[in-house]
Amino acid sequence: MAIDSTTMERIVPDHVSAEEATGAETLKIHLDRYEFAAQHIKPGLVLDCACGVGYGSYFMMEQVPEKFDKLVGVDLSTEAIEYASERYKHPKIEFINCNATKFKYPQKFDTIVSLETIEHIPNPRLVTAHLKSLLKPGGTFIASVPTTPSVDANPHHVTDFTEKTFRQMFINMGMTEIDCFKQIQPYSFFKIATRQETRAKKLRRNLPLYYLQNPMMAVKRVQTTLVNGFNNHYITIVWQNG
């Protein structure tokens, strides 16, 4: 089925450009993240929350099939779930179309994976607490976010995190950090600003006006550029449910 692969909301591996930072380079960043997550999967029932088109769910299953009794992939997008169900069909994977904040399942999960999800949500603590309620005591929660600002450029992102604020949210819920994985992705300011890359075409329009209306976002962008240059930073953390 047809699916829009020009948005920054999700990545579709079959449609990425090999030459673009927002294409093949971003896909590699995502797959490296999923590979790290797969290493920490606790055997049993696994949830991949905000699974998108399903490639990450399938990739983890291929990495360590012996760890999975079943994997449930959940996403808000009907189109993404329909695509996942066709393209990444697997006897041990069930794809479900549902809002993460409303999702329920008859059993508790041994592992929950939610990568590049909570920055899309206005109240990230609410959805994280809900997911935690679906996790067994002692279960594993693996989550990732960008730790450099992204809300200004990406219209699908509504919450910016730092490593400190991301960690503190989970610590406040009584979770214990087990491991972490940091990533840095360089990008071309010129190519992104001029929307030369396929997945950059739907970045936020009229950024100067946005910065005028949201001056603190402009300050954030200047600060992160001075400190980090033209590089996006990400962190994936493995947590144990206390």
Q: How far apart are CA 82 and CA 102, in angstroms?
A: 19
Strand order in the sheet with 135-146: 93-97, 68-75, 44-49, 109-115, 135-146, 231-241, 175-186
Place of tokens 């890359």: 197
Q: What is the pLDDT along the chain (242 residues), one digit of tens a residue?
A: 556 655 556 788 887 766 665 678 889 999 999 999 999 999 999 999 999 999 999 999 999 999 999 999 999 999 999 999 999 999 999 999 999 999 999 999 999 999 999 999 989 999 999 999 999 999 999 999 999 999 998 888 999 999 999 999 999 999 999 999 999 999 877 677 666 666 566 788 888 899 999 999 999 999 999 999 999 999 999 999 98
Phi and psi dihedrals of 58, rounded to 5? Answer: -65, -40
Ordered structural domains, the chain, with CATH: 14-148+159-186+233-241 (3.40.50.150)
Q: What is the 8-class DSSP label of residue 1?
A: -
